[in-house]
Amino acid sequence: MKKLMIGNEGVARGMYEAGMKFISSYPGTPSTEITEFASKFDEIYSEWAPNEKVACESAFGASLRGVRAACAMKHVGLNVAADPLFTLSYTGVNGGLVICVADDPAMHSSQNEQDSRHYAIASKIPMLEPSDSQEAKDFTKLAFDLSEEYDTPVLLRMCTRISHSQSIVELGERKEIPVPAYERDPKKFIMTPANAIVRHPIVEERTKKFIEFAEKTPINRVDEGGKDIGIICAGTCYQYVKEVLGDSVSVLKLGMVNPLPIQKIKGFAATVKRLIVVEELDGVIETHCKCLGLEVEGKNLFSPLGEYNQETIREVFNKEIEKLDVKLPEIPVRPPVMCAGCPHRGLYYELVKNKVTVLGDIGCYTLGAAPPLNALDSTLCMGASVSGLHGFNKAGGEETESKSACVIGDSTFMHSGITGLVNVAYNGSNSTVIVLDNSITGMTGHQQNPLTGYNIKGDPAGKVDLEALCKAIGINRVTVVDPYDLKACGKAIKEEIAAKEPSVIISRRPCVLLKYVKANPPLKVNEDKCVGCRSCMKLGCPAISIRDDKAVIDNTLCVGCEVCSQLCGPKAIEKEAE
Amino acid sequence: MKTTNVMIVGVGGQGSLLASKILGRLLVDEGFDVKVSEVHGMSQRGGSVVTYVRFGDKVYSPVIVDGEADVIVSFEKLEAARYIKCLRKDGRIIVNSQQIDPMPVITGAAEYPEDVLEVIKKAGVQVDDIDALELARQAGSVKAVNIVLMGRLAKYFDISYDKWLEAVEKCVDPKFLEMNKKAFDIGYNS
């Protein structure tokens, strides 16, 4: 049976067919759907872990017990999971272990465009890279086989275009893998120096064996074509090269991007007049070719920035197509915005009104950095708002402590905000940490987390008591506010940043996009009362605009949160029924 | 057969994902090689969204670049202007004449260019502009804008009305099937 599916679903299907029994992940665009699709199979135990390190270590545990296991994350998630990754290379596996990592060239939804292939090289772990959904499925299955045959975790590298593009996949049957009895193997799994020193040469030998594999595996293949130009590529770049150049060039398509073959590349280079590597982000394959002493081109022609497409190839090979010539006025950008009725908006409004310096974090609420709120001073990585604020206040002393705060979402707080808060309490900075608790992981499309009380399948699960957790850490001042109540938010912010001890404000209201959240009737503007003062426009609500100097509310967007009506001096914003 | 390129553009939340699902399903059932590509994530939050649908004997790239689109279906006027550069010289654009102000327009930092469709028409582009919001309302729900526009797109395809309807049936929530069938028909025949 054939089915059109995104690359991430292809990976999940591959996991299912490979007899995998366990997946633990933390959501992150563009990797999230791998785990969401895997969770639809009853044969696979699936979960959202608090962060990628926990997910990777849980998958390790499942492998130790002898079942095929996986974890999936975005590229920056692998930074968090890097600690177990490097030593997993030494221990190897019992059941096959696959670590999926999805890069985001062009930063569609990320804070940097790091190239995960460097992790494969640095940790000496083999890495496969599919170029469509069929390969996503096939390579996932191969990754499990290789993992067990060579006793190593295997990295599967995805990127936004492969993860989120649908192509046709031929479905296969699931093959159940018997689970062996558990047997202790301390020399392999207890990585004390005495044991690890014995494992390291095994890793080096394994890499040599993988290079031999890379020489003969059919996933590293040559598409014969013209001999004037030979192109080496992998993943999505293969599609762009074939689209534009077809059979006019010869192509060495690499399905395995670490380790790279030696003889295969040298042999291919010998058959062509000009050798070019086409790879997004860093010149990893190109550097390898240069180490082999080959005359090769790559980053002299192609940028290390952003995503490629067929136009990138056309420009370099002078094959540009005719384009439409329409002279248009400047088109305003349409950036993503916080939704109408977003609970973060009211809290942000009060922070801005009180001129608070705000260190931000990763999530929907990062959108508070955009005009007209311009609420944030920094956004670095998951959890950095809390630890960053601590350092900011230790360096700034009383001068900054009385006018600063940080904001972090519920899921991000669980991911890596807790340890920062421990540092605030332990080393005593008078910092105010605001947890924006909208009871869901929002930006990645509504995943459950340890604060929601539900698991990946939507069934009731353990629920962390946030107030009790903060108190146990040593924070005595913990206040809960409703972000739709501007007065209460303003009061809490003023009191807590003035306090001479660490404090936490929990701004709690569920995301308006959650199915169980019922919208109120839309509000409307009484034109006779509206004086066109634009106070309501300071909120940046997409439902409110100005027409003929009067505010207008779009009744298809408004959910009746009444934050704007609290700002309206002449009380012109009214409930529809009145 | 040469690869055919269809782009669906709009604003996050307008339902372009379902539209591309219907089109993808139809084309797979017709036996084509198909690729459908969209970017999830930040774009869901009211940002500009674009979906690429490509089909033919063998499709390589999952994306469509400037000058390549045979048809663009735009769910909003400004988005039609934003992506018109992707249309090939004798391509066609179907536009929902609805206006949704982006944040820079709402805050007053930019103006919504009113006459974009006129400019595009004057440049010789085949423009089919319809008030899909009003037509969806007639069908029974303002949320059916996507199905109205798919009905309109079907007019320009060499695939039968019934086959299209089958694909709609396979993809929409059965609870809203009758309304969606009506929306498709209105889009096709208006």
Q: In DSSP terms, which residues pair with B54 in a beta bridge?
A: B5, B35
- Would you call A137 helix, strand, or coil by DSSP? helix
> Is pLDDT above 60 for A247?
yes
Provide the pLDDT for residue B190.
Answer: 87
> Is pLDDT above 90 for A574?
yes
> Is pLDDT above 80 for B44?
no
- Over residues A508-552, the pLDDT tens digits come to 999 999 999 999 999 999 999 999 999 999 999 999 999 899 999
Q: Report chain A's mean pLDDT, rounded to a whole number.
A: 97
d(CA A72, CA A58): 12
Question: What's phi and psi for A438, nearest 5 deg?
Answer: -100, 15
C-beta atoms of B67 and A324 within 8 A: yes
Identify all chain B residues contacting A332, using CB atoms and an 8 Å cutoff.
78, 102, 104-105, 109-113
Provide the pLDDT for residue A577.
Answer: 61
- Is residue A548 within 8 A of residue A532, CB to CB? The reply is no
- Would you call A188 helix, strand, or coil by DSSP? helix
- What six digits make up the tokens of A304? 């290390």
How many beta carbons lie within 10 A of that of residue A457, not counting itself? 12
d(CA B56, CA B2): 6
C-beta atoms of A546 and B105 within 8 A: no
Identify all chain A residues contacting B41, using CB atoms and an 8 Å cutoff.
29-30, 108-109, 443-444
Task: Residue B153: give its domain's CATH number.
Answer: 3.40.920.10
| pLDDT band (50, 70, 90) for residue A578 | very low
Buried b (16+ CB within 10 A) or exposed e, A299-316: eeebeeeebbbbbbbbee
C-beta atoms of B108 and A537 within 8 A: yes
d(CA B50, CA B36): 11
CA-nearest residue to B80 within chain A is A331
Q: Taking a contact as any Cβ pair under 8 Å apart, which residues of chain A between 461 and 520 contact chain B?
A: none
d(CA A363, CA A366): 6
- Is residue A234 within 8 A of residue A129, CB to CB? The reply is yes
Provide the pLDDT for residue A112.
Answer: 97
- Is residue A525 within 8 A of residue A532, CB to CB? The reply is no
Look at A7-11, A326-330, A371-375, A494-498 and tell me which has the smallest mean pLDDT: A326-330
- Over residues A279-332, the pLDDT tens digits come to 999 999 999 999 999 999 999 999 999 999 999 999 999 999 999 989 898 999
A432 CA: distance to closest CA in chain B (Å)? 28
- Is residue A542 within 8 A of residue A514, CB to CB? The reply is no
Residue B81 Cα distances to B97, B124, B127, B134, B164, angstroms: 12, 14, 11, 21, 28
Look at the block and give the residue holding tokens 């353990």.
A462
How many beta carbons lie within 10 A of that of residue A185, not counting itself? 12
Q: Is A161 on the interface with B (CB under 8 A)?
A: yes
- Over residues B90-113, the pLDDT tens digits come to 999 999 999 998 989 888 889 999
Instruction: Say which amino acid occupies A455.
Output: N
Q: ipTM of the assembly?
A: 0.95
| pLDDT band (50, 70, 90) for residue B46 | confident
Q: What is the dihedral of CA A295, A300, A306, A307, to 10 degrees?
A: -50
- Output the CA torsion sign for A104, A110, A111, A116: negative
Average pLDDT, stretch B29-40?
A: 91
CA-nearest residue to B60 within chain A is A239
- Over residues A178-227, the pLDDT tens digits come to 999 999 999 999 999 999 999 999 999 999 999 999 999 999 999 999 99
Q: In DSSP terms, which residues pair with A412 in a beta bridge?
A: none
A174 CA: distance to closest CA in chain B (Å)? 24
Domain count of the fold of chain B: 1
Q: In DSSP terms, which residues pair with A441 in a beta bridge?
A: A447
- Is residue A75 within 8 A of residue A282, CB to CB? The reply is no
- Output the CA torsion sign for A322, A326, A330, A335: negative
Provide the pLDDT for residue A305.
Answer: 98
Look at the block and give the residue holding tokens 């090979």.
A317
d(CA A358, CA A374): 10
Provide the pLDDT for residue B40.
Answer: 64
Provide the pLDDT for residue B39.
Answer: 75
- Over residues A43-94, the pLDDT tens digits come to 999 999 999 999 999 999 999 999 999 999 999 999 999 999 999 999 999 9
Q: In DSSP terms, which residues pair with A408 in a beta bridge?
A: A435
Q: What is the dihedral of CA A90, A382, A444, A409, to 10 degrees?
A: 140
Look at the block and give the residue holding tokens 């762009």.
A240
- Would you call A147 helix, strand, or coil by DSSP? helix
- Over residues A386-417, the pLDDT tens digits come to 999 999 999 999 999 999 999 999 999 999 99
Question: What's phi and psi for A50, nearest 5 deg?
Answer: -65, -30
- Would you call A95 helix, strand, or coil by DSSP? coil
Provide the pLDDT for residue A55.
Answer: 98
Q: Is A218 on the interface with B (CB under 8 A)?
A: no
In this prediction, what percent of chain A has a pLDDT beyond 90? 96
d(CA A271, CA A251): 11
- Over residues A263-280, the pLDDT tens digits come to 999 999 999 999 999 999
Q: Which of B17, B27, B28, B103 would you mutate first to test chain A, the one with the most A CBs within 10 A?
A: B103
Provide the pLDDT for residue B41.
Answer: 56
A236 CA: distance to closest CA in chain B (Å)? 8
Residue A70 Cα distances to A23, A402, A455, angstroms: 5, 46, 18
Identify all chain B residues contacting A338, using CB atoms and an 8 Å cutoff.
45
d(CA A367, CA A252): 42
The DSSP call for residue A178 is P
Owning domain of residue B63 = 4-189
- Would you call A313 helix, strand, or coil by DSSP? helix
Query: Domains (ranges, CATH) in chain A?
Result: 2-178+188-216 (3.40.50.970), 221-317 (3.40.50.920), 344-508 (3.40.50.970), 523-575 (3.30.70.20)
Burial class (CB in 10 A: 0-12, 13-18, 19+), A487: exposed
